[in-house]
Amino acid sequence: KMTAWYNGSFIDPDTAVIPIQERGHQFGDGIYEVIRVYSGMPFAMEDHLDRLEKSAAAVRLTLPMPREELEALLLEALERSGGEEAEIYLQITRGIHPRNHAFPKEDRPALSIIVSPARVLPEEEQENGIRVITTEDKRWTQCWIKSLNLLPNVLAKQEAVEQGAREALLIRDGIVTEGSSTNVFLLRSGTLYTHPATEGILHGITRDRIIRAAAEADIPVVEETFTTDALFDAEEVFITSTTLEAAPVCEINGRTTGSSFPGTMKLRNLLQQQIRKEQNQ
């Protein structure tokens, strides 16, 4: 069952708890993470907490509790939910203070957690691919920070949905940066390409795992930028995220780009092997 925490206590997920003067609510002044749970066990928890610490430092936010306590709390929330195939969403904001752009004098960060059932991509799309569109990347320069400010991502995703697609690939100066909530890969002549982990993209945990999977499979990896045209010249395009794992792309802007995805499937299988292996540790 859905289980939620706000600022010191477990709460009914449907109860209103965020005061109007909450900085996440008013400014998007906060950061977040999404962690996938497989068979009741969080996957890559340490990687997510590492990234959370980096995001926090980048926006000068102190974590509301030591990392070990946060980790224990996430596990408690998960246990209370009884979730087996689940997602843990956590966000930390600069807390409850009268509205004023500058930091409040007193440091009182607020933590929310919600554990809910995992959103899983339908089998049909996992196998036959998903439709995507391309759209301009209108975000700020610090996309490596997992900040709550997701308005450009929301607008891009909505544009995709309205065109019958599942994801919007973001284009900045002709370069494919990433998806609105995913990282983008392409396979060409046996080589795997993805945007380098610059400040301009989120350093996806799944992105990192796919790069590791490629090393295991002896697939060369090139972390270099590529253009929209390169998407159409690729043998395979796929996108990655905590919730999607690796999803093949079959159509871009209404043009069919592929119908079989042997490379993507191989990498996805290796990712799933990593997941299973870490669960048995």
Q: Which residues bind ligand PLP (CB under 6 A)?
A: 34, 153, 178, 181-183, 202, 204-207, 240-242
**d(C-alpha 248, C-alpha 266), whole Å:** 11
- Specify the residue, 96 or 252, whose C-beta has the smaller distance to ligand PLP: 252
- Specify the residue, 4 or 44, whose C-beta has the smaller distance to ligand PLP: 44
Q: Round to the nearest angstrom and report the end-to-end CA distance of the chain.
A: 26
- Specify the residue, 181 or 257, whose C-beta has the smaller distance to ligand PLP: 181
- Specify the residue, 178 or 251, whose C-beta has the smaller distance to ligand PLP: 178
Closest CA to 169 of 122, 208, 201, 214: 201
Number of helical H runs and strand E runs in the chain:
8, 15
- 105 catalytic? Reply is no
Return the number of other C-beta atoms located less than 10 Å from residue 277's C-beta. Answer: 9
Q: In what order do the strands lie in the sheet with 110-117?
A: 9-11, 3-6, 110-117, 86-93, 30-38, 41-42
**d(C-alpha 204, C-alpha 202), whole Å:** 6
- Specify the residue, 90 or 96, whose C-beta has the smaller distance to ligand PLP: 90
Tokens, residue 101: 């752009």
Region of 207 on the Ramachandran plot (φ > 0 left; ψ -120 to 50 alpha; else beta): alpha
Closest CA to 37 of 68, 92, 91, 78: 78
The least distance separating ligand PLP from the CB of residue 258, rounded to whole angstroms, comes to: 21
- Specify the residue, 96 or 244, whose C-beta has the smaller distance to ligand PLP: 244
Choose, from 1, 105, 146, 277, the residue flagged as catalytic.
146
The least distance separating ligand PLP from the CB of residue 239, rounded to whole angstroms, comes to: 9
The least distance separating ligand PLP from the CB of residue 50, rounded to whole angstroms, comes to: 11
Q: Where are the beta strands (DSSP E) in the chain?
A: 3-6, 9-11, 30-38, 41-42, 86-93, 110-117, 130-136, 167-172, 175-179, 183-188, 191-194, 221-223, 236-241, 245-252, 255-256
Asked whether 170 and 180 are in contact (CB, 8 A), the reply is yes
User: Mind telling me the catalytic residues?
Assistant: 146
